[in-house]
């Protein structure tokens, strides 16, 4: 018997689906990555305080929380493809316009809309790919989709290293507007999820979908996802949005800090690829728990690094384990729910996680202003990640090669 998912992969190959969705993911990562470097540049250009720098990352995450919630819900009503395109256009145009701002207030408003697009696109794209790939390949393909995030960060690091010092941060931001044109191409070439297409005539209210996510049947996986999403996003945005700035605070010049972060970023790719290889062999829970523990240990080592060598090695391991864990999380999340509430459940978990993304950068800025050391701050992120690992270990169930409802 041929399933709808298998029929879909015959008309659209996995490679093409991965390429189309992955490029959208790459553009998202490029924007977030460039923001990390732009925060460091704005610190020098506009004379921002540590607290103001933290608010840039915080507002971006507020937008992501709103976007993940709203667009996740409506992806279950109007389709994954439409929301995917809308969110791509939203973050691309807002990011390009933000290049022309001259005040922090205007920049923050536009970063909110950029965040909305980013926050909505990521869980919707992973849901679309999950529903379009057979169970035996689903985990691997979704993790490979996440690997485009590393490629986007590499592009961001390269642009920041070569463009920002020579031409300024505004030119770098303009380059992030390019995905708007790609979104038009997606409208023609990307089919919607076969599982959504089969269920699109089943009209359900938004309130019913939200209620079902927290129903007795799905309460445990929802609780698990909300905990792990919060702890992972809190630590990721707290650490990685501040990474170039932390390097500057450790005494390195701006351009040298960009160079070191670029080197650390290279470790993201093997992190993804190793997770993609393991996820269909060892399972989602093993990969997620193992890579989260590796992230926690690396964060602790990075915060206490006192030489260039230990800084680069611990930073590389931080990138390796953290981004591998992200790939497993995006593969694991949509598998917790049936088709009718899959995007809603994944979007709500991601939205709750983005609250952590709001608090993380603001916490770093506030603690630095109060005189706390980098080692204390990264120890907090270490503990946060371990809490996420425990939630998966004790509340999660294995979904390796499970057919989606």
The per-residue pLDDT string of the chain (405 residues; one tens digit each, 9 = 90 and over) reads: 444 444 444 445 777 788 888 887 888 888 877 887 788 788 888 888 877 887 887 788 889 889 999 998 888 888 888 888 888 889 888 988 999 998 999 999 999 999 999 888 888 888 888 888 888 888 888 888 888 888 888 888 788 878 888 888 898 888 877 777 777 676 667 777 777 776 665 667 788 889 999 999 999 999 999 999 999 999 988 888 777 777 777 777 766 777 777 788 788 889 988 998 999 889 999 999 999 999 999 999 998 888 888 888 998 999 999 989 998 998 899 999 998 899 899 999 999 998 988 888 888 888 888 888 888 999 999 999 999 999 999 999 998 877 776
What total number of domains does the chain contain?
Answer: 1
Annotate 28-89 with DSSP letters as a single string: HHHHHHHHHHHHHHHHHHT---HHHHHHHHHHHHHHHHHHHHHHHHHHHHH-HHHHHHHHHH
Q: Is residue 310 part of a domain?
A: yes
Alpha-carbon distance of 329 to 331, in angstroms, equals 5
Dihedral, CA atoms, 59, 60, 63, 65, nearest 10 degrees?
A: -100
Sign, Cα dihedral of 48, 50, 54, 59 = negative
CB contact set of 205 (below 8 Å; sequence gap of 6+): none
Q: Is residue 178 part of a domain?
A: yes
Give me the pLDDT at residue 202, please: 63
Are the CB atoms for 29 and 158 separated by under 8 Å? no
Q: Is residue 198 part of a domain?
A: no
Looking up tokens 């989602």, which residue turns up?
284
Residue 280 structural domain: 14-192+213-395
Say whether pTM exceeds 0.85.
no
Token pair, residue 191, equals: 């089919």
CB contact set of 349 (below 8 Å; sequence gap of 6+): 123, 222, 225, 226, 229, 333
Q: Smallest Cα–Cα separation from 330: which of 350, 356, 359?
A: 350
Q: Smallest Cα–Cα separation from 227: which of 65, 345, 385?
A: 385
**Which CATH number does the domain housing residue 88 bear?**
1.20.1250.20
Q: Is residue 2 part of a domain?
A: no
Q: Is residue 203 part of a domain?
A: no
Coil vs helix vs strand at 203: coil
For the chain, the C-alpha Rg in angstroms (whole number) is 20
Q: Is residue 202 part of a domain?
A: no
CB contact set of 2 (below 8 Å; sequence gap of 6+): none
Q: Is residue 85 part of a domain?
A: yes
Other residues' Cβ atoms within 10 Å of the Cβ of residue 175: 18
Are the CB atoms for 146 and 356 separated by under 8 Å? no
Q: Is residue 3 part of a domain?
A: no
């Amino acid at each position: 018997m041929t399933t709808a998912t298998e029929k879909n992969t015959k008309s659209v190959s996995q490679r093409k689906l991965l390429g189309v969705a992955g490029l959208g993911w790459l553009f998202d990562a490029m924007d977030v990555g460039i923001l990390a470097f732009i925060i460091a540049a704005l610190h020098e250009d506009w004379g921002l305080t540590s607290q103001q720098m933290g608010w840039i990352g915080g507002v971006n995450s507020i937008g992501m929380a709103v976007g993940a919630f709203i667009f996740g819900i409506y992806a279950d009503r109007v389709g994954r493809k439409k929301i995917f395109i809308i969110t791509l256009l939203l973050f691309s145009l807002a990011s390009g316009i933000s290049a022309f701002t001259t005040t922090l207030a205007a920049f923050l408003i536009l970063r909110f809309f950029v965040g909305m697009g980013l926050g909505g696109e990521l869980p919707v794209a992973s849901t679309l790919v999950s529903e379009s790939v057979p169970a035996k390949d689903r985990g691997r393909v979704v993790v490979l989709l996440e690997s485009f995030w590393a490629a986007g960060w590499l592009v961001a690091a390269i642009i920041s290293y070569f463009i920002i010092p020579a031409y300024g941060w505004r030119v770098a931001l303009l380059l992030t507007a390019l995905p708007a044109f790609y979104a038009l191409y997606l409208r023609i070439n990307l089919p919607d999820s076969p599982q959504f297409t089969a269920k699109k005539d089943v009209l359900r209210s938004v309130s019913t979908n939200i209620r079902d996510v927290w129903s007795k049947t799905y309460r445990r996986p929802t609780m698990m996802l909300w905990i792990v999403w919060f702890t992972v996003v809190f630590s990721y945005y707290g650490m990685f949005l501040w990474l170039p700035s932390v390097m500057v605070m450790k005494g390195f010049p701006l351009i040298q800090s960009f160079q070191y972060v670029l080197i650390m970023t290279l470790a993201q790719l093997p992190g993804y690829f190793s997770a993609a290889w393991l996820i269909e062999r060892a399972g989602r829970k093993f990969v997620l728990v193992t890579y989260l523990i590796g992230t926690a240990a690396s964060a602790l080592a990075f915060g206490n690094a006192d030489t260039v060598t230990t800084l680069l090695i611990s930073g590389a391991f931080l990138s390796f384990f953290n981004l591998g864990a992200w790939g497993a999380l995006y593969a694991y999340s949509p598998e917790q729910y049936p088709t009718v509430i899959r995007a809603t459940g994944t979007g709500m978990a991601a939205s709750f996680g983005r609250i952590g993304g709001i608090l993380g950068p603001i916490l770093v800025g506030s603690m630095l202003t109060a005189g706390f050391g980098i080692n204390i701050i990264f120890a907090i992120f270490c503990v946060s990640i371990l809490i996420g690992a425990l939630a998966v270990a004790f509340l999660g169930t294995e979904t390796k090669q499970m057919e989606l409802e």
